[in-house]
Amino acid sequence: MNKLLITLLFITIAYSQCSGQTVRFTNPILAGFYPDPSICRVGSDYYLVNSTFSYYPGIPVFHSKDLIHWEAIGHVMNRSGQLNLIGAGVSRGIFAPAIRFNNGVFYVTCTVVDGKGNFVATATDPSGPWSDPVWIPQANGIDPSLFFDDNGKTYLLYNSVPPDDKPLYDGHRTIRMSEFSIAEKKVIGDEEIIINGGSDINKKPVWIEGPHIFKKDGYYFLIAAEGGTEYNHSEVVFRSKKIEGPYISYEKNPILTQRNLNPNRKNPITSTGHADFVETESGEWWSVFLGCRPYVSDYYNTGRETFLAPVKWKDGWPVINPDHEEVQYYYPTPIPSSDKNNATPLSGNFVSTDNFDADKLNLSWLFLRTPVENWYSLNDRKGFLSLSLRPPTCSGTDNPSFIAHRQQHLSGNVSTSLDFTSQLENEKAGIVVFQNETHYYFLCKSTENKQPVVQLFKSGVDSGSSELLASQKLESIPKEGIQLKIEAKGNTYSFYYTTKSSVWSLLKADVDAKFLSTKEAGGFVGCVYGLYATSNSQVSVNKAYFDWFRYAGEDQVYK
């Protein structure tokens, strides 16, 4: 499997200053746009999946031995026949997968929004191949999850509409459950409403979703997200002596939230919820959940990320992060570390470089929707990634020539070396920092009046439109091409270029990063840095060649 060249890894294991030198890990464990985590354990191995919405391949699968160091080992949906996302908005597509293991088989249940709905896919090896999705039309809702009971029965639960599809208030939803045939991959028996509204329907709780069931000490425990996946997000728990209920809400719900804390606290982690639980071999319980790291107020560009925190049992109920009000950036490690410095870093401060010298793209790269033709290559020129200039743009809902890396830090930079020549003003290639079709900045090399230039565009609020923010004529370009760089500093981005190896020229400084924040752009994704080439709706035979891509992130909280 292709690896990124790791040039520096600052922090994935830290040591506290207190006596005993307690070994700690760094949150988030998956930095950047890795939302809606679900986890399972098989022996001493842990597996985790996330939502990918309209990015492809869909549903990354991660493996770990210690819950801290994670390595991407494959994707559930990595064949075009499994997942066609053409035409889908960026925040549609794959919603909230859940991973489970039973009798030698891994199961992932998930929803394709604006597609065929809920499905289940299976594999005996979590790295793949995974089966084609088996659709579950009887399950009318989202966020499906399987529970394998110890009596041999299996159940499917999911978020659905209110009773009789008549909401009592905006955001009124239910959790429903049906028995599920593993052999036939379909719902059997009657559908039951096991949670109506949420933890206390008299308080009009909204958006109960992301349900999971597990069994402990003779009780069935149901955990679910509540409050919406923004600032008021939370996790709640219910329990019952019977699988079908009635389920009693924990009187001290929620068991996880940050919504009541001072919004002006230092280095806040917000919007926590959508959790899943795992028990270690030694009997300790931990939770993965999503959270956000704003740079100011409720503005964040890194999206919803995956965090890890301990779970303690109090009076027969589980509580996440029991010893603190605030979710912590550091906790004692759950399992003696098996540090893997050769794996792609996913947490803390780090620098990494991809020299495009492998046979396949690293598993961390994303496409915007499903590629339906071969427009990129690692073999056209050895040591280069080539992108064909094609008519689709990232303003539309097609699959553009666009390969992306998540923005994983509030502060840092990305840079690349580009070999690209054109005499046509519609042909452009470079780096884009992208949130959705109408919220991105594009730093590119192109042509004006038959002269080579470097340009910076801001997307328009109307799909397909853009505004030229800056342009600079390039007097001379060496044969090795031009280098481009985007620097992030919380609420700003700055854009640079150079035709020399060590001297950067500033094209435009302190461009508004809030424009790309979830608060302004909306949706469920985080920002990505894309290597991007387009002929802007025109036919072209030209190509752009990227020699390397360097990512550097250094957030202050990890120093």
Among 249, 234, 304, 308, residue whose Cα is nearest residue 277: 308
Is 120's pLDDT higher than 80?
yes
| The pLDDT of residue 336 | 82
For 149, residues 6+ apart whose C-beta sits below 8 A from its C-beta are: 155, 215, 243
User: What's the rounded mean pLDDT across residues 434-440?
Assistant: 97
Is 111's pLDDT higher than 80?
yes
User: What's the rounded mean pLDDT across residues 105-127?
Assistant: 97
For 230, residues 6+ apart whose C-beta sits below 8 A from its C-beta are: 271, 298
One of 143, 209, 354, 419 is an active-site residue; which one?
209
Give residue limits of the domains in the chain: 5-332, 350-558
Among 65, 38, 64, residue whose Cα is nearest residue 49: 38
| The pLDDT of residue 366 | 98
If you ran DSSP here, which 8-state letter would residue 113 be given? E
Q: List 298's β-bridge partners, or say none.
A: none
Is 3's pLDDT higher than 60?
no
User: What's the rounded mean pLDDT across residues 306-321?
Assistant: 98
| The pLDDT of residue 345 | 86
The reply to whether 217 belongs to the active site is: no
For tokens 């060249």, the residue is 5
Q: List 230's β-bridge partners, or say none.
A: none
Give φ, ψ of 13 to 5 degrees: -125, 130
- Residue 104 to residue 98: CA distance in whole angstroms: 17
Quick: pLDDT tens for 216-236: 999 999 999 999 999 999 999
3 state DSSP class of 249? strand
pLDDT band at 462 (very low <50, low <70, confident <90, very high): confident
Helices (H) and strands (E) in the chain, counts: 1, 41
Q: List 46's β-bridge partners, or say none.
A: 41, 64
The reply to whether 209 belongs to the active site is: yes
SS3 content of the chain, % helix, strand, coil (to 5): 5, 50, 50
Is 5's pLDDT higher than 60?
no
Mean pLDDT score of the chain = 93
| The pLDDT of residue 12 | 42
| The pLDDT of residue 402 | 98
| The pLDDT of residue 18 | 37
Is 480's pLDDT higher than 80?
no
Q: What is the DSSP string of 316-362?
A: TEEEESTT-SSPPSEEE-SS-----TTSPP-SSSEEEEE-S-SSS--
Is 31's pLDDT higher than 80?
yes
One of 36, 66, 305, 487 is an active-site residue; which one?
36
For the domain with range 5-332, which CATH number is right: 2.20.25.10, 3.90.480.10, 2.115.10.20, 3.30.70.520? 2.115.10.20
| The pLDDT of residue 11 | 41
Ranges 147-151, 305-309, 476-480: which has the least confidence: 476-480
Domain 350-558 matching CATH 2.60.120.200: the answer reads: yes
For tokens 């110890």, the residue is 150
| The pLDDT of residue 338 | 61
Count of other CB atoms within 10 angstroms of residue 483: 20
Let me know: does 482 contact 547? Beta carbons within 8 Å. no
User: What's the rounded mean pLDDT across residues 241-254?
Assistant: 97
Quick: pLDDT tens for 346-368: 999 999 999 999 999 999 999 99
Work out whether the CA dihedral 365, 371, 376, 377 comes out positive or negative. positive
| The pLDDT of residue 2 | 45
Let me know: does 496 contact 489? Beta carbons within 8 Å. no
pLDDT band at 431 (very low <50, low <70, confident <90, very high): very high
Cβ-in-10-Å burial (0-12, 13-18, 19+) of 180 comes to: buried
Is 339's pLDDT higher than 70?
no
3 state DSSP class of 176? strand
| The pLDDT of residue 17 | 36
Give φ, ψ of 134 to 5 degrees: -105, 115
Is 502's pLDDT higher than 80?
no
Task: Report yes or no on whether pTM surpasses 0.85.
Answer: yes
| Strands (DSSP E) found in 437-491 | 439-448, 451-459, 466-473, 482-489
Maximum separation of any 2 CA atoms in the chain, in Å: 76
| The pLDDT of residue 289 | 98
For tokens 């360097």, the residue is 550
- Residue 268 to residue 536: CA distance in whole angstroms: 41
Among 288, 319, 322, residue whose Cα is nearest residue 306: 288
User: What's the rounded mean pLDDT across residues 16-34?
Assistant: 78
For tokens 């120093």, the residue is 559
Is 500's pLDDT higher than 80?
no
Ranges 88-102, 336-350, 397-411: which has the least confidence: 336-350
Q: What percentage of residues in the chain have a pLDDT greater than 90? A: 90
- Residue 309 to residue 225: CA distance in whole angstroms: 16
